[in-house]
Amino acid sequence: MVKVSNTNTTTKNTTQNQTLVNQEILGKDDFLKLLVTQLRHQDPINPVDDKEFIAQLAQFSSLEQMQNLSSSINMMMESQQRLTALSQATAMIGKEVEIYSHEGESLYGKVTGVQFHNGWPEVIVEGKTYDFTEIVSIFEAGGGEENA
């Protein structure tokens, strides 16, 4: 029997970890607050130079654009991961699989369908729904093993 390591669990965890990391980095709102605080507390005798202020505004604009681009790329990556998972799940229809469920049960059965739950595929085996990430082995319906 060939054991198949599950990449979708890693994908879901990576996406969640990226969200946590992004929350720890100073964002555009923090940058704007710093800029406003600097303007409020500047020395009236020696105010911020116009060129320096314009440079800070340009940095703020660049920061905002980079964050928007990063957000778009992350959304595209997650969409691609979901499409890949869907493609892999639909390829299992009609195949025999071994499932180790989150509840700790191990079972064998034939995949009869695929559905989505929270944007990720679930396989239907023996009339019961399982998370796609619970599949540990895949076999041809005739009993031969398949390398995945």
Extended beta strands in the chain, E state: 96-100, 106-117, 120-125, 128-131, 135-139
Q: Residue type for 16, please?
A: Q
- Angle among Cα 24, 36, 73 to the nearest 5 degrees reads 40
120-125 sheet: strands from edge to edge: 128-131, 120-125, 106-117, 96-100, 135-139
Average pLDDT over residues 71-83: 94
Average pLDDT over residues 65-77: 94
Residues 6+ apart with CB under 8 A from 85: 8, 11, 120, 121, 132
Contact between residue 28 and residue 64 where contact means Cβ atoms under 8 Å apart:
yes
Q: How far apart are CA 14 and CA 18, in angstroms?
A: 6
pLDDT higher than threshold 90 for residue 63? no
Task: List b or e across 92-123, with b for residues whose CB sees 16 or more CB atoms inside 10 angstroms.
Answer: beebbbbbbeeeeeeeebebeebeeeeebbbb
Q: Which position has the higher pLDDT, 57 or 132? A: 132
pLDDT higher than threshold 80 for residue 18? no
With 0.75 as the threshold, say if the pTM is over it.
no
Q: Provide the token pair at 119.
A: 């944007």
Residues 96-147 have pLDDT tens digits of: 999 998 888 899 999 999 998 888 899 999 899 999 889 999 998 775 554 4
Label residue 5 by pLDDT band (50, 70, 90): low
Q: How far apart are CA 96 and CA 107, in angstroms?
A: 10
